[in-house]
Amino acid sequence: MNTIKIYKRKNSNYYQMKVKVRGYSAFRRSTGETNQHKAQQIAEEFLQDKLVDKKAGKNLCTCKFDTLAGAFTKHLKEQLQTKEINLMVYKLNVYAIHNYLLPFFKEKDINTINRAVIEQYVDYRKQNSRNGKVPNNDTVNRSIIIFKNIFKHAFKKGLIGESQLIQFKLLPVKTNRRPAFSEKDLDIIWDCFDNFVAESPSASTKKYREDLRDLCIILRYTGCRPHEILADKRLGHRGLRWCDVEQFKKDSVILHVTGKTGKREVIAPQQVKMSLDRMYSCTRKLTPNDTVFYGTYKRQFKNLLLYSGVICDAQGNNFSMYSFRHSYATLHLLNGVSEHLLAKNMGTSSKMLDNHYSHVKPRMAYKQLLLK
């Protein structure tokens, strides 16, 4: 049913109109008139214009971008409260919205936003960075994905019509091979560990390096992301807690971790179980909610790489704790573990494995390739 309502706000002489077109949310705006009869005429003309547009198949939904962004931010906050997303995901989305999307799109009517406008945003984003560096295409794509999610949420909530969903391809991204430790690299690091610990300058550093060894074992044999194991309150990473460790078999455990894809179970072998047992026996007064590791271990890990001489791969890419994850994926693929099973244990997708570890496939199929 189409309806019109004329009214005044408190402390205002001008009439407001609320025009409802069947099938759409009400349009609210000022008539700019102090005369009730003239305000009524304006509202009726507005309604007739909207009915003509509706008959012509035009979408009548209209609002500013900041309205959609506000609704999406509220949705993110609800997801954070229900633990559908973690604090890091929430902060990254809100940061992009407030620092890049809103400054450019805030006052724009959603009906004026098209591919050309998004291309202008891409140029704007590359020229405006908080750290002064020109962002690469992958970084720009992240804010475009958030932009798309804002519109998808608005459509789902009925704030916009399907015709207002904008189709825009992401910028091309050059995929670099991720630096992974080879088996030789890992052997060198482990051969150096005893001396690295023994030569600690203090008792506290020695304890820290012993814990670092256990951390490296967990990362090496589970393929977990470092932030899934290490706590970081600033980014909202809970880290691995003792209550997240479950005895699975006599010689293995299950780690309950939370990462990009949410909560998952990680099957960990005997080496991980032995490291956790050692840490548990060396720590006093533990409670189930205590985190297994305290600190980031970044500086000591860097010192370990310098001590061992294993600093970068053949392409000159520096190793990091994340390199254990890439090594885990590479070595397990070479050993014939299915991509589906490996992806599930690592908290990623088969497509992602294919994108980043396709160079491993010829070696996986060497027997077939050598057939005469």
- Asked if domains 65-164 and 183-368 share a fold, the reply is no
DSSP symbol at 179? P
Structure confidence by residue, pLDDT tens digits, 322-343: 999 999 998 898 888 888 999 9
Note the pLDDT of residue 365. 57
C-alpha to C-alpha distance for 33 and 42, rounded to whole angstroms: 9
pLDDT of residue 160: 78
Topology (CATH) of 65-164? DNA polymerase; domain 1 (1.10.150)
pLDDT of res. 129: 84
Q: Which residues of 318-329 are buried (b: 16+ CB within 10 A; e: fewer)?
A: ebbbebbbbbbb
Identify the bridge partners of residue 255 per DSSP, sorted by sequence position: 245, 266
How far apart (Å, rounded) are the C-alpha atoms in residues 78 and 64?
Answer: 22
Distance CA 159, CA 25 (A): 8
Q: What global pTM score does this model have?
A: 0.65
Domain boundaries, the chain: 3-55, 65-164, 183-368
Instruction: Report CA torsion sign: 44, 46, 50, 55.
Output: positive
pLDDT digits (tens, 9 = 90+) for 163-203: 678 888 888 877 666 789 999 999 999 999 999 999 999 99
Query: In a 3-state reduction of DSSP, which class is residue 356?
Result: helix
Radius of gyration of the chain (CA): 28
Q: 183-368 belongs to which homologous superfamily?
A: Intergrase catalytic core (1.10.443.10)
Q: Please tell me the predicted confidence (pLDDT) of residue 372.
A: 44
Between CA 346 and CA 331 the distance in angstroms is 13
Q: What is the pLDDT along the chain (372 residues), one digit of tens a residue?
A: 889 999 999 889 999 999 888 777 677 888 999 999 999 999 999 899 888 887 876 666 667 899 999 999 999 999 989 878 878 789 899 999 999 999 999 888 887 888 889 999 999 999 988 778 899 898 999 999 999 999 999 888 877 777 678 888 888 877 666 789 999 999 999 999 999 999 999 999 999 999 999 999 999 999 999 999 998 876 677 889 999 999 888 889 999 998 877 789 999 999 999 999 999 988 777 889 999 998 889 999 999 999 999 999 988 889 999 999 999 998 898 888 888 999 999 998 888 887 777 767 666 555 455 554
Q: Which pLDDT score, from 0 to 100, does residue 158 have?
A: 73
pLDDT for res 108:
85
Beta strands in 68-158 (DSSP E): none
Contact 309, 188 (CB under 8 A): yes
pLDDT, position 370: 55
Tokens 């880290």 belong to residue:
239
d(CA 42, CA 32): 9
Predicted pLDDT at 87: 81
pLDDT score recorded for residue 214: 96
Long-range contacts of residues 16-24, Cβ cutoff 8 Å, at least 24 apart = 17/42, 17/43, 17/46, 19/43, 19/46, 19/47, 19/50, 21/47, 21/50, 21/51, 21/54, 21/60, 23/54, 24/60, 24/61
Detail the DSSP E strand segments found in the chain: 3-8, 15-20, 27-30, 245-249, 252-259, 262-268
Token pair listed for 184: 């030789």
What pLDDT was estimated at residue 235?
66
